[in-house]
Amino acid sequence: MGQETFTLASGFSSPAQAFSTPLPIHTRASERNRCDSSGFRKANGPVKYLRGSGVQWGMSAQTLYVIGQSDSFRETDAPWIMEERISASGRAYSVKVYTSEAYTARHMRRSDETKRLVRWTVRLSDGRCVSRDGALRVRAPEAWNRVRSVVAKLRGERREQALADALWDNLTVEEREAMIASVDLPSYTVGRSIRDASEALHADLIAEGSPLALVDARWQERLRDIYATEAFGGPIGSSAWHAMTWAQWLTYTYSLTGETAPDTENLPASVLTDHGRSRRLAAWWPSLRTFALYAPAEHARDVIARITAMAGGEVAAVEAQEFPPASRLDDRKAVLALRDARLARMTPAWRADAGAALNVAREGVAFLYEAARTLVRR
């Protein structure tokens, strides 16, 4: 028997090009959206196609629409192993690698358009499951005719990007959302900063060869909305967002950095960095202006007033400006006098640590000043 050949949705065509990834991409599988072994949802019954066209009898490309995507490896629990590898820098690391058995008919799906085995399939409203390229051909044939001669001359990443862009540009907002819904975004945010979550998501999309790997799906905004929903009960801009409390705002702000929010009654002025050799302002300071802008006005005023009192009183405009140069000696003396007075009035909890108190008097006052100005303009 000859060796079986097959083509993956991303364009790879052999086990030698198997996807290696430290983590599997997180997907949601819905039974009602999966195709059965013939490629059709069972409720649809038999479907006839025009020979060689890939188009259903009585259905035009204009009436077709995308209802989602599926990863057959995940759905069939394709076999994999962990391999130990050495990076260029000499660091040992482990990666997940699918075995050759995964790239067989048992764990891959046969495209209803080309009859080739593919890992990723795009689900169509007529019940068919096709590859990403197939989705472009049957969903937007005019677009395919425009790009086919172009992509024929391209290779590698440039070809993949051109095909990904062509399909994405010809999908409606609803179709895009249907495909994005297959990615379990909340699983990436648990215990991670938004930076780490974004990096892990992109790494998985690329390593797993997802049809979404090369498209602009506003991933950062979507991840941020998940952090917001966890903290406020709704995404950014929602009614829940605008009803935020200071405690919720701290939870949200710190979750973005993968940290635990401090107690609202025991706010730290600054934190140690560089293994305890230096200090910087606590993460909540830069967020004061945004809180003052979006939180309920009265609540925001109460919070800013309390922090202002803890910081030693109302901030003068000159305190919030850049420290005067040596050529303006009198101005320097004036600012230093204001700073000394502020340090004397500052809450004892902050004043007890000279480094923390100076962080507030030198840098924190600028954030506090902008927050106060924001409240005045509301």
Tell me the per-residue pLDDT of 313-344, one tens digit each, with 9 for 90 and over.
Answer: 999 999 999 999 999 999 999 999 999 999 99
**Are 306 and 184 contained in the same domain?**
no
**Are 194 and 337 contained in the same domain?**
no
**Are 97 and 164 contained in the same domain?**
yes
**Are 34 and 117 contained in the same domain?**
yes
Q: Give the model confidence (pLDDT) of 139-180 as tens digits.
A: 999 999 999 999 999 999 999 999 999 999 999 999 999 999
Asked if residue 3 is part of any domain, the answer here is no
pLDDT confidence band for 52 (50 / 70 / 90): very low
CA 306 to chain centre: 34
**Are 64 and 159 contained in the same domain?**
yes
**Are 282 and 162 contained in the same domain?**
no
pLDDT confidence band for 44 (50 / 70 / 90): very low
Helix H or strand E encompassing 143: helix 141-151
Domain count, the chain: 2
**Are 47 and 140 contained in the same domain?**
yes
Among 17-26, 238-247, 350-359, which range has the highest average pLDDT? 238-247
For 129, the 3-state DSSP assignment is strand
Q: How far is CA 350 from CA 259, 267, 307, 315, 359, in A?
A: 21, 9, 11, 17, 10
Asked if residue 227 is part of any domain, the answer here is no
Q: What is the mean pLDDT of residues 99-106?
A: 96
Asked if residue 348 is part of any domain, the answer here is yes
Residue 12 has pLDDT above 50, yes or no: no
pLDDT confidence band for 57 (50 / 70 / 90): very low
Asked if residue 6 is part of any domain, the answer here is no
**Are 271 and 361 contained in the same domain?**
yes
Asked if residue 240 is part of any domain, the answer here is no
Residue 285 has pLDDT above 70, yes or no: yes
**Are 275 and 167 contained in the same domain?**
no
Asked if residue 235 is part of any domain, the answer here is no
| 286 contacts 274 by C-beta, under 8 angstroms | no
- The pLDDT, as a whole number, for residue 236 is 97
Q: Which of the 8 DSSP states describes residue 130? A: E
Residue 55 has pLDDT above 80, yes or no: no
Q: What is the mean pLDDT of residues 46-65?
A: 52
Asked if residue 245 is part of any domain, the answer here is no
Asked if residue 252 is part of any domain, the answer here is no
Mean pLDDT of the chain: 85
Residue 164's domain spans which residues?
Answer: 15-217
Q: Whole-prediction pTM value?
A: 0.77
